[in-house]
Amino acid sequence: MTTLITGAARGVGRALLEAIAATGDDVIGTFRGATPSGAPGRWLAAEMTDPASLAALGPAMDGAPLDLLVLNAGIYSDRAEGLETGYPPALWAEMFAVNVTAPFLTIQALLPNLRAARGAKIAILSSQMASDTRAPGGSYIYRASKAAVLNLGRNLAADLKSEGIAVGIYHPGWVRTDMGGPGASIDADEAARGLIARFAALSIATTGCFETWDGRPHPF
């Protein structure tokens, strides 16, 4: 089985890569900047804001089947923004490029590889902050981008179901990473274990699901 994880150099992505590599399965991580040191698996450079870089992932796979694509890369850059004068257009553009456009372009680039596998799966890491029913305010760009990628996943699930490719969307938990902060409730290894179990359970019967890392259905 071959898995490709975007944004695998640190945080939840790195924990997922290490946990999957430990099973003996083939795992590929994408990174930006310097090649990660001391990490298992194979690595491909990919800049999430550069469409050409994402398009190059397809040729880099050289036609090899891809069983699982995990779209983990994301940014959360609007915590400190204020409603009255914050949230500049450039920040909207950057966060949507990374959190929404990049997942779509990555899927587009790797669709031939997913089609070459039997029963391939796509896992999109969204967030509980995507939920319309849980909207306490603030972080407008991040919330909007995660809601958009949730919608993207639901529609991809409909379009790819006839091809036998299942799509799941997941809230990874509030994780102690650079993004989640030191006060978060779980560590990256716990999140990774839960998510890997969710990926294993994903099937055509459950395609389009929005679930938490520990297996609970998440409200939309």
In the predicted structure, residue 180 carries a pLDDT above the cut 70: no
**Domains by residue range for the chain, with CATH:** 2-212 (3.40.50.720)
Mean pLDDT score, 112-137: 95
| Per-residue model confidence (pLDDT) at position 129 | 93
| Average of per-residue pLDDT values in the chain | 94
pLDDT at 38 over 90: no
* Number of neighbouring beta carbons within 10 Å of residue 179: 19
pLDDT confidence of residue 179: 66
pLDDT of residue 24: 95
pLDDT of 26 over the 90 cut: yes
Q: What is the pTM of this model?
A: 0.95
Q: Report the alpha-carbon distance of residue 56 to residue 61 in Å, rounded.
A: 9
- Name the band, by pLDDT with cuts 50, 70 and 90, for residue 211: very high
Residue by residue, DSSP assigns 76-117 as ---TT--TTT---HHHHHHHHIIIIIHHHHHHHHHHHHHHHS
Q: Which residue has the higher pLDDT, 39 or 21?
A: 21
- Residue 118's identity, in one-letter code, is R
Q: What is the 3-state secondary structure (H, E, C) of 3-55?
A: EEECCCCCHHHHHHHHHHHHCCCEEEEEECCCCCCCCCCEEEECCCCCHHHHH
Q: Is 142 a catalytic residue?
A: yes
For 130-150, write each residue's pLDDT tens digit.
999 888 999 999 999 999 999
Amino acid 178: pLDDT: 67
Q: Residue 190 has what pLDDT? A: 93
Whether the per-residue pLDDT at 14 is higher than 80: the answer is yes
Q: Which of 87, 140, 142, 170 is catalytic?
A: 142
pLDDT at 125: 97
Give 40-67 pLDDT, tens digit per residue.
889 999 999 999 999 999 999 999 999 9
